[in-house]
Amino acid sequence: MQPQSLNIAGIGKGFGADDVLKGIDLSIRPGEFLSLVGMSGCGKSTLLRIIAGLETADRGTVSIGSRDVTDVDPSDRNLAMVFQSYALYPHMTVRDNIATPLRMRRLSVWSRLPLIGRMIANAETLREIDASVKEAADVLQIGHLLDRRPAQLSGGQRQRVALARALVRSPSAFLMDEPLSNLDAKLRAHMRGELTNLHSRLGATFIYVTHDQIEAMTMSDRIALMSEGRIEQLGTPDELYRRPSTLTVARFIGSPSINLLPVELDASGEIVLFGQKLGITARNAWPGPATLGIRAEDVFPAADGIEASLVRTETQGADRFVTFNLICDPSISIVMRQRVGDDLGADADGNVRLAFSKEGVHLFGSDEKRREITVHEQVPA
């Protein structure tokens, strides 16, 4: 099956008085790995379930390729879904679990019955199904588990069975609803790599729902970041990281979280931080309060920086994250990323002066939208 594009137009959905989705438009290219990320309750799972056909939208359309599937049953959309709990059939062996989607499609109602079904069914079809099951099991390296039941498998193995069950039917697209969130941290990192490999090997369209920005950043071709039933920003992981279009995106993407500082814009648009001009001007922005976002890797110790007191250090192998509170406003904390062994330049009281690279700052207006900036040489105050 050729990878298919998916088009979602004007999807809206409400549960009771709440609008969970407020008009979602999204085109997914054939063969693309697209992640839907956001906090829980942002509507990402509902959107995925609407694409799958498990939920009906109040308005809007879903199409796969050029076919409008808005009113088509889930089983006729030719999509495969991997669930958070894996949703394996508990009483069936791994072999039967993987074979089920094919049996349901290729065998008649009578030949699907237990026991007598095998006698009625076309032997050729059964052989084909067995061969496809073996092939899918080999792709996911679970050939030796085929005769076990789900209860006898570990979380990672169940995950593989769920993936094999999805890919055995060569769907137009794979839908994944937080498939890694039940695994432990190490296995999760490993499965991220495997999913990426699987995606490039199959060349299929993947739609991946997660609340974990690291999963989205590491695997996706593009990310749609959702918040309160809307798509906040759609772009490559790099775009979301380097040019977050709103404060919500900036806060969500990146680990550790972006540092946020309250600033003022003066009449000329110059950014003023605690009474100090930074040599950065906002384009097209009116005076008033704003927020400055700075990533941890753009913070460094400097003799002419803002004074801050050391709170704690978290070493992560080669790098460490150092947390400070500002002296002028201790409620604001700043995280700095540094190579282990690099000097902090602390003074006698243990205080450090911090500066940041001006190219790395993100400015957000009082409406939380991104503002473009111009960096110029700082005028000594």
Partner 1 sequence: MAALRRYLPHVVLAAGAFVMLLPFYWMFLTSIRSPAEIFSVSLWPIPEKFAALDNYSRAASQVPMLRFMMNGVIVCFGILIVQVLTAVPAAYALAKLRFPGRKLLLTLVIAALTVPIQALALPLFVGLAKAQLLNTYFAMMMPFLLSVFAIFLFNQSFRSYPDEIIEAARMDGFSELEICFRLVLRGSLPSLAAFSVFSLVAHWNDLYWPMIVVTDTNLAPPPLGMLFFADVESGANYGALMAGATIITAPMVVCFLLARKHFIAGITMTGVK
Distance of alpha carbon 115 from alpha carbon 231, whole angstroms: 49
Q: How many residues does the chain have?
A: 381
Candidates 63-71, 73-81, 134-142, 370-378: pick the segment binding partner 1 (CB under 8 A). Answer: 73-81
282, 363 in Cβ contact below 8 A?
A: yes
Residue of 155, 150, 165, 99 lying closest to 127 (CA atoms): 99
Place of tokens 């700082």: 378
Q: Does 183 bind partner 1 (CB under 8 A)?
A: no
**Binding string, residues 40-59; x marks residues near partner 1 by CB under 8 A:** ---------x--xxx-----
110, 135 in Cβ contact below 8 A?
A: no
Single residue of 90, 275, 350, 380 touching partner 1 by CB under 8 A: 90
Q: Does 84 bind partner 1 (CB under 8 A)?
A: yes
Candidates 3-11, 67-75, 192-200, 257-265: pick the segment binding partner 1 (CB under 8 A). Answer: 67-75
Q: Does 62 bind partner 1 (CB under 8 A)?
A: no
Single residue of 39, 87, 189, 285 touching partner 1 by CB under 8 A: 87
Single residue of 89, 110, 274, 286 touching partner 1 by CB under 8 A: 89
Q: Does 105 bind partner 1 (CB under 8 A)?
A: yes
Candidates 36-44, 83-91, 317-325, 368-376: pick the segment binding partner 1 (CB under 8 A). Answer: 83-91
173, 79 in Cβ contact below 8 A?
A: yes
In the complex, minimum distance from the CB of residue 334 to partner 1, in angstroms, rounded to a whole number: 42
Count of other CB atoms within 10 angstroms of residue 73 = 8
Q: Does 111 bind partner 1 (CB under 8 A)?
A: no
Segments of 266-318 assigned E as strands: 270-273, 276-282, 288-294, 299-316
Residue of 297, 299, 282, 306 lying closest to 364 (CA atoms): 282
Cβ proximity to partner 1: between 165 and 371 the closer is: 165
In the complex, minimum distance from the CB of residue 210 to partner 1, in angstroms, rounded to a whole number: 16
Sign of CA dihedral 66, 71, 72, 78: positive
Single residue of 41, 74, 143, 155 touching partner 1 by CB under 8 A: 74
Distance of alpha carbon 166 from alpha carbon 342, whole angstroms: 48
**Binding string, residues 112-151; x marks residues near partner 1 by CB under 8 A:** x-x-------------------------------------
Distance of alpha carbon 35 from alpha carbon 226, whole angstroms: 10
In the complex, minimum distance from the CB of residue 114 to partner 1, in angstroms, rounded to a whole number: 8
In the complex, minimum distance from the CB of residue 9 to partner 1, in angstroms, rounded to a whole number: 22
Quick check: bond before 289 cis, omega within 30?
no
In the complex, minimum distance from the CB of residue 198 to partner 1, in angstroms, rounded to a whole number: 19
Single residue of 36, 50, 62, 79 touching partner 1 by CB under 8 A: 79
Give the CA distances from residue 151 to residues 88, 135, 141, 162, in Å, rounded to whole numbers and listed in that order: 10, 23, 18, 13
In the window 218-247, what residues touch partner 1 (CB under 8 A)?
Answer: none
Count of other CB atoms within 10 angstroms of residue 242 = 13
291, 250 in Cβ contact below 8 A?
A: no
Q: Which parts of this chain interact with partner 1 (CB under 8 A)? A: 49, 52-54, 73-75, 79-81, 83-85, 87-91, 100-101, 104-105, 112, 114
